[in-house]
Every structure is written in structure tokens, then in C-alpha cells.
Chains A and B, each alone.
Chain A
Amino acid sequence: MDCSESAMMQATSRRALLLGGASFAAWAYLPKFARAADGRDPRFVVMILRGALDGLATVAPLGDPDYAGLHGAIALRGDGPNAAVMLDAFFGLHPAMPEFARMYRAKQAAVVHAVATSYRDRSHFDGQDVLESGFPGPGRVQSGWLNRALEALPKGERVTSALAVGPTTPLVLRGTAPTVGWAPTALPQAADDTAMRLLELYQHRDPVLASALTQGLQLEKQAQGDDMKPKPGGGGAAAMRLVARGAAKLMAADDGPRIGALAFDGWDTHANEGGPVGRLAQLLGGLDAALAEFQNGLGARWRDTVIVAATEFGRTARINGTEGTDHGTGTIALLAGGAVGGGRMITDWPGLKPANLYQARDLAPTTDLRAVIKGVLHDQFGIAERVLAEAVFPDSAPVKPMKGLVV
């Protein structure tokens, strides 16, 4: 009889009350050609890596004579302990990504290097707007390119109502085409990175709150003990895996969604980025595990799947004074899935000589990310080039869809 509002004062119950921040969102309909005559039932997953992934640290140009000097203490090496996994004679993959390496060897994964959106400044927010909206410049946040691509698809049955509208549909999938979503519950904590940034602000501006927050974070750790539960509110590696596992299960179902998007935060590695081990390595491990979860969870549907992981921009070629990297330009996009024409590096390598760097600091972009995505959308779903150039990525006619990404 007592009302719920009064009965929940205990800190132990709070996790059960809150929604996690990480989520998965998907188109609410099946494409009409699902399970068509040829038996192909294509799936497409977009992973947005927010915060700007260091492409040079993830897929390192070990063969470039300038790489080791620029990336300094955090550079990957081709030999010794924690050596990079060579993808070809020139590029080495970060050792935290063994699953991706396995997919690459199985020709089910590919890397596009020195890639960028059309955005050339260095604001995260604006960069993410461009990455997700598909417009040439920032400030257009009403709809995302994936949602506009859905509008070009023949609409079949609605996915069952087991999924509801999600609270955190990422911009890339936002728009007039209806979407559904899902998120893990509980574990509502703010990401460690957010807490650390706040702590730094407090240390400068509000010592009392700095002290309180420090103690609060310690209390939290103690309360958790050795409970290794992931923290989907942030960019924790386990959170990526958890969300991917759930999303894969949903997308594997016959009446489940075919096209979805996930967003993972935490890639803004300004300080102590780490090399073969460390902060970035942990995140890459989470991304790697998420890709593996999709392969496992999709089962037979993996054969028809393409996953694209992309980020708003890259990071400086030269490390900064705190063993990290600052906002840059060119970076990588990762493709994985049974339908990917994989086992290859896709790049027009610009080189890392000072004169070749963009504004003398960043990996110069030589591939437009829109060409990659257009290529996938064209090959996977047959979306016409004109639609891609006008509706999906407005004003992008000169950027031709890349061919041969899908087998």
C-alpha cells in the first residue's frame, strides 16, 4: 500500500533504478527484400566511435619511416612483446584486437586508412554532427544519413513490438524513418573519463567539491569490490561487449531488425593514451570483443553482415607532452562481417613526412569516408548512386561509391 516514492532510500537499490547510457537503435522495419529468392538477408551495423579514434595507433604504418618518431613512446612495434599483428608488409594491427586480426585473415575484415569525413576543423561536436548527419558541414542535426538511407529502402514488415523507441537513438539513425531501440539497464555510472574531467575542473575551481567527488569515487570503487560489472554509462570495454551481445541477438532473429547503430564513447585520448597496453588498448579490446559478439550472436546471418566502425576525425601524428594525442584529421574506418570483401588494406597512403601531414600535424586524409559508406549501402542494399549523392549524403555527387567492399 505504501507508495514506491518513499521506499527507495537505500543506495544499494539505486542501480536497479537507472538506465544505462549505452544503447542500440535500429530501423523499425524489415527491408522488403529480406529473405528474397536468392536467400540473401543483408544486415548492416554502424558503430560510431565518439571522441576521435587514433587511427595511427590502431592500425600503425610500421613501414613508414616517420611513424616511430612521431608516435614516440606509444608507437606500436612489429617485434618484441605485445607486437603489432602485421596485416600486410606495411601496416600492423594493435595487439588488443586479435578477433579483428582473425576476421582479417579470414577475409571478413578490412581497414580503410587515411580516411576522413568532409569536416576539417577539430571540434568533437561539429565533427560528430558531420560524421552522423552526412551533411558536408556541421550544424545539421535533424536527421542522420543512415535514417535517410532507410527511407530509400522498400519497407517490409514491422519488427515485432518487443523493442520500443529508445532514449538515445544516435544522430546517425535519427530522422523520419521510425526506429526502435534497446539498452541494458542498471549500472548507471558516469564514465571514468567524465569523472576525471570533472575532478580536474573542481580542482581548479572548487576544492570542496573536488574533495567530495574524490571520496565519492573511492566509495563507489569500494562498494563494487571485485564485482567486475561493466559500466554501460561510459566507454568501458565491457559495456561495448554487453551492448553488442544484446544487439546481435536481436538482429539475429528472423523478425528482428536488419539495420542498426551503436555509439561507443571514450576515444578522446589526450593524455596517457598508452601503446600496446594502456587506455586505448582497453578500449580497442572492447571494440574487438564487440565485433566478436556480433559474429557469434548473428550465427548464420554473419554471412550477410557488414559492420562499419567510424569516428569523427583522427588525432595528431605526433604525440603531445602528456603521452597522448590531440585532435587531428585522417584516421581509419574498420569494416567487418561475412559480407565484407576483406583481408586487405584500402588506402592511398599519404606518408608521414612533415610536408605530407595535413597542416603539418595530422595524417592527411586521402579517402572520403562517404565513399566507403556509399559503397557499402550501394552494394549491400542496392541504393541508387543518385539517392546516395542527394538524399543520403547531400551535395556529395563528386564522391563516388567505393567499389568492391561487399562480396
Chain B
Amino acid sequence: MELVLPNELGYELIARDAVAAFARRAGMPRDQIDDVKTALCEACINAIEHGNSMNPELRVQVSCCVDDDRLVIEVCDQGVSPFAPKAEPLSMVEKVSGFGSLRGMGLMLISQLSDESGFVPHGEVGNCFRFAFQRHRAASLSC
């Protein structure tokens, strides 16, 4: 399934409820759905605030695909400046000590909640962030 959202903070909550319904439909366990929801909100907020720089004219696209092995989610923005993550993310100790921005927290959280995550090449303008969750139950392919 695909979901296209206005680039406005708050709409990540609608995306969260849509994706949670999709994951329930796929038969994922509740605790894993909670991880999916948190990761999705963080990815959408990044797209809205950073990728799309809060520009209300732009959109955020969320795609979900589930197969036997995993649930894969992509969150794409239309930002003109590519996202350039620091080579070495700051550690929690450095952040708490006030070095750098607290903002990179979202990506760190996603990487801990999901089984894999990262930016992927994307044919169009903008950043595309993909994260995936391993599944424990069999299912047939559906997107």
C-alpha cells in the first residue's frame, strides 16, 4: 500500500495509524507493531522537518510491502537537498553532554527498533529512507 501525506507535523500520526492497521492485517504481533509505529513516526518527522524543510507545498510518501519474511517501509520526501548523515553518529554520552543536535535521535531510534534501516537510491528528487522488520509468521505477498 502507499500513503501520500501533506508535509505538516501531525500527519505522521495518521500515517502511524494507517501503517499499524496494515501491520495488524499482516498478522504481526502487537509488540512488534508498537516498534513499527514508533519508527514510522520518527521517519515521517524527519521527512517533514528535514527532507522537506517544513515546506507545506511538498508531500511525504509512505510505502509498505509485506511478504513471508519481512515488512518493508519506505518514507520518501521531495527535499531538494540530499540528506547527508554524519559519518560517525554522535554517541548518547556526547549528545547528553550537549555536543551536536538532539535531532539525530530519530534515525538512531529507528535503527534500534528495526532490523535494517538506511537511505536508498531514489529515482526522483528527494530522500528515500527504508526500514524493515523481520516477520515470524508466514504470509502471502501483498503490497
Q: Do A and B bind each other?
A: no
Tell me the B residues contacting A by CB distance below 8 Å: none
Tell me the A residues contacting B by CB distance below 8 Å: none
